[in-house]
Structure 1
Amino acid sequence: MKNVYNFNAGPSALPKAVLERAQSQLLDFKGTGMSVMELSHRSKEYEEVHQNAINLLKELYDIPENYQVLFLQGGASLQFSMFPMQYLKEGLVGNYILTGSWSEKALKEAKMIGETKIAASSKDNHYKSIPQFSDFQFNENDAYVHLTSNNTIYGTQWAEYPQITHAPLVADMSSDILSRPIDVQKFGLIYAGAQKNLGPSGVTVAIVRDDLLSENVDHVPTMLRYQTHAETNSLYHTPPTFSIYMLNEVLTWVKEQGGVEAIEKRNMEKAKLIYDAIDESNGFYQGHAEKEARSLMNITFNLPSEEQNKQFLAKAKELGFVGLNGHRSVGGCRASTYNAVPLEACLALRDYMNSFRTE
Structure 2
Amino acid sequence: MAPRPPRSRLRRTLLAALVIGSVTLPVLGAARPAAVPAPAPSALAPLRAATPAALAERYAATRADIRAAERAATDHGDLRRAAALHAMAEPARHFLSFDGRDGGRTAEVFGDLSRAERTAVLVPGSDTSLDRYGRLQAGATALQRQLGDRSAVVAWLGYRTPATVSLDAVTPGRAAAAAPALRRFVGELGALKPATRISLLCHSYGSVVCGRAVSGLDVADVVLYGSPGIGVGTAAALHTRATVWAGRGTGDWVAEVPHAHLTLPFATLGFGTDPLSPRFGARIFAAGDGGHSDYLAPGSVSLANIARIVSGRTPAEEGRHA
Calculate the TM-score normalised by the size of structure 1. Answer: 0.24
Say which one has the larger Rg. 1
Structure scoring higher RCO (CA < 8 A, sep ≥ 6) equals 1
